[in-house]
Amino acid sequence: MEATIRKESIDAKEFYPTDLYEYSSQLTDGELEVLQDMRTALEEHVYPVINEHYEKAKFPYEAWNEVAKSRFMDDPKLFEGRDNELKTSELFNVFRYFELAKMDPSIATYYTVHGGLFYASLLYGGSQEQIDRWAPKVKSFEYSTCFGLTEPDHGSDIAGGLATSARKEGDYWILNGEKRWIGGADKADEIVIFARDEADNQVKAFVVSGKSEGLSVENIRNKISLRMLANGHITMKDVKVEDDRRLVNVNSFKDVAAILRTTRADIAHLATGLAAGAFEAALRYVKQREQFGKKLGSFQLVQEKLAIMQANVNACLSYSVRLAQMQEEGKYIEVNSSLAKMHNALRMRETVALAREVVGGNGITLDTDVARFFTDAEAIYSYEGTHEINALIVGRFLTGKSAFI
């Protein structure tokens, strides 16, 4: 019998030098191995083409396909000792987003709409038959998927304002309406579409083929943030969807909110990785750049900004890891997800601004990497609940009074 050759254990402290409180030390050897493979693929295939694709506002699909080969959703090492083979550990999920966003926020967001929003909708809303039907192809990246909730006239007020309609006719549903800001819609094989049932006025969810007759996608132009990722404007005119494509456990907006409680945590993790990416890029720069006969990193004011950025990364990791631990225990609490997204996005925004400051004029070019993080942070700050919406969720918890309207 041939002996199994195992990789040498990875030192988490060396692998994540900006994780000063060593949260990554709780990852398993298998999880660290997958993260290492993932990082290697990102560095070898994505990083060399980022600036070119950013300038052209094109997503690097060939490079992404190489990253997907690291199997960061379905590698058996991720499920060793776990009963649930549909989901990785929540702690691994933190560092999965950390790796993706630390490389590039558009790359991380592309994964979010697929492995976060679509997959969470399927696991929460689908029957066992539906999960068995789609989950393997999502986990393996055989399918590209996305999530259609927001609309041209409804974003923050989508709970009461969702206008896309669904009408049952025999064994089919007829969908009409528009969705906007849908990441990856132009390439999606399957899209979760949320629509209001004309019969009971309740929100339902449908897995709609991206090639459906009557469904069209127009990409939004002239973006300054997440330029590489295409955000689509979806128009549906009498789109016919089989009844077995309705996610049976989504029967009201309360169910949609339950999905968002999960995915909002993902964006808190993404914001953490983005902050780390900006900080590490700035740190590399100030160690190399000379001004007034000294390295920039030797000046007091620069070190003070670096210290704040490091503190922000650790604070964001603290929120992400503790939230992950609670969710691993089955505690999906709306106020906790909103607090983490609000805090981490705010600290992320401060961090990218400080990174841009210490890099100086070169911080507005793509050459230092900081500019990508600086512009992309604006999109992360707004999606999955704006700062204000998440603050009002926390405020409602604190006071017992809703201030939304």
Percent of the chain predicted with pLDDT > 70: 98
Mean pLDDT to the nearest integer, 142-149: 96
Neighbours of 339 (CB within 10 A): 20
Percent of the chain predicted with pLDDT > 90: 92
Model pLDDT, residue 6 = 42
pLDDT in tens, 90-129: 999 999 999 999 999 999 999 999 999 999 999 999 999 9
| Sign, Cα dihedral of 342, 269, 43, 26 | positive
Q: Is residue 3 pLDDT above 80, yes or no?
A: no
**Token pair of 323 as six digits:** 């939230």
Model pLDDT, residue 4 = 38
Phi, psi angle pair for 164, to nearest 5°: -60, 135
The pLDDT mean for the chain works out to 95
- The separation between CA 147 and the C-alpha centre of its own chain, rounded to angstroms, equals 12
Q: Whole-model pTM?
A: 0.94
Place of tokens 């330029």: 227
E strands present in 164-323: 165-169, 172-183, 190-197, 203-209, 215-219, 231-242, 290-291, 294-295
Interatomic CA distance for residues 4 and 285, integer angstroms: 42
Q: Is residue 160 pLDDT above 90, yes or no?
A: no
Interatomic CA distance for residues 330 and 267, integer angstroms: 19
Place of tokens 């896309």: 164
Secondary structure (3-state) at 86: coil
Q: Is residue 9 pLDDT above 90, yes or no?
A: no
Interatomic CA distance for residues 391 and 63, integer angstroms: 37
- The separation between CA 99 and the C-alpha centre of its own chain, rounded to angstroms, equals 11
Mean pLDDT to the nearest integer, 174-200: 97
**Token pair of 160 as six digits:** 């009461």
pLDDT in tens, 342-351: 999 999 999 9
Per-residue confidence at 84, pLDDT binned at 50, 70, 90?
Answer: confident
E strands present in 268-332: 290-291, 294-295
Per-residue confidence at 1, pLDDT binned at 50, 70, 90?
Answer: very low
Per-residue confidence at 241, pLDDT binned at 50, 70, 90?
Answer: very high
Task: Please say whether the beta carbons of 107 and 72 come within 8 A.
Answer: no
| Sign, Cα dihedral of 207, 209, 212, 215 | positive
Buried b (16+ CB within 10 A) or exposed e, 108-126: bbbbbbbbbbbbbbbbbbb
Domains of the chain: 12-139 (1.10.540.10), 145-245 (2.40.110.10), 253-399 (1.20.140.10)
Q: Is residue 338 pLDDT above 60, yes or no?
A: yes
pLDDT in tens, 294-318: 999 999 999 999 999 999 999 999 9
**Token pair of 177 as six digits:** 């309406």
Task: Please say whether the beta carbons of 234 and 148 come within 8 A.
Answer: yes
Q: Is beta strand 190-197 parallel, antiparallel or unpaired with respect to 203-209?
A: antiparallel
Model pLDDT, residue 402 = 93
Neighbours of 217 (CB within 10 A): 19
Identify the helix (H) or strand (E) that includes residue 63: helix 61-68
Model pLDDT, residue 405 = 77
pLDDT in tens, 359-386: 999 999 999 999 999 999 999 999 988 9
Q: Is residue 68 pLDDT above 50, yes or no?
A: yes
Interatomic CA distance for residues 44 and 66, integer angstroms: 9
Mean pLDDT to the nearest integer, 240-269: 95
Model pLDDT, residue 5 = 40
Interatomic CA distance for residues 375 and 220, integer angstroms: 17
Place of tokens 């192809």: 137
Q: Half-sphere exposure of residue 47, counting CA atoms within 13 Å on the CB side?
A: 17
Secondary structure (3-state) at 117: helix
Place of tokens 């631990």: 325
Model pLDDT, residue 8 = 67
Interatomic CA distance for residues 260 and 117, integer angstroms: 8
pLDDT in tens, 194-238: 999 999 999 999 999 999 999 999 999 999 999 999 999 999 999
